[in-house]
Amino acid sequence: MQVTSPKGRAQRPEKGTAPPLPLSVIHAEALYRSRPPVGYDDEGYPFEDSKVSESTKHDDVLTHFRVAAFTLVVDQRDTMVQRNLLILFEEGNPRAAVEPDVTVSLGVGRHPRNSYKLWVEGKPPDLAIEGLSERTWHRDVEVKPPLYRDLGVGEFWQLDPIGRTPDPISGYRLSGGVYRPITPSPSGAYRSAVLNAEFSYDREEMHIVNLRTGRRVAPQHETERQRDAAEHARDEEVRRRLSEGRAYEARIAELEAKLRARGARTN
């Protein structure tokens, strides 16, 4: 079995030295923990289980981030954005898996996949997001980031809706083999180079700005409300025009009747 390095290549030990430990051994505590029943693909790798949402607040903020991330890259047809997609990083070892809450990977396509296998995709994801929950927050903060770092995930983000860390949102960028904190702007926004966007979050509301357009990315529920309002306005306009049309036709019929009556008296 090959050992996947942070760059996605097999590591070969130098002559006379012991082979390096697999990342699945170094970061054993960070590995995916399934909840039976578990689904496996044809090669024996896991890709689904019975895991349920941690909380509505946890789910809401991650759904918003995932939808916003997809909106930001909607024109990049080769960019993948997924929730709860297993990253498998050692070929032949189904246990060597980690599950970010949201994963973004540039240049790999949007074709259907059960999991993200590094030896198939040819690269690590570019961005991983973890939303903290009461059950898993310690693993998300202390245990999983070193594995993402060693896998070569370019940006790592934490969203904290439960108040376990000083900052509601924290971002880290891989540089020189280590994660360096992303410094917020004076307004408190954090910039993602992968998504070309700025994020701010106060544990109640997330504000996301598309840096290509300078426009805010509206939450899904707000977008749906705006769409419903626009559809309602269109329906009202159609009804108004139909009503005006019927009134116009009635007026024409009335005038025609008067002309016929006048002609009958004249004859």
Contact 203, 170 (CB under 8 A): no
Give the pLDDT confidence of 169-195 residue by residue, as tens digits: 999 999 999 999 999 988 889 999 999
Output the six-digit token pair for 147. 């594995």
Beta bridge partners of residue 103, listed in sequence order: 82, 128
**Would the pLDDT of 23 be above 80?**
yes
Average of per-residue pLDDT values in the chain:
85
> What separation in angstroms does the CA of 59 have from each of 12, 33, 105, 128, 139?
41, 19, 21, 16, 18
pTM beyond 0.85: no
Going by C-beta distance under 8 Å and a sequence separation of 6 or more, which residues neighbour residue 58? 131, 132, 133, 161, 162
**Would the pLDDT of 52 be above 70?**
no
More confident residue, 162 or 253: 162
Predicted local confidence at residue 198, as pLDDT: 95
Judged on CB neighbours under 10 Å (0-12, 13-18, 19+), 103 is buried
> SS3 of 73, please?
coil
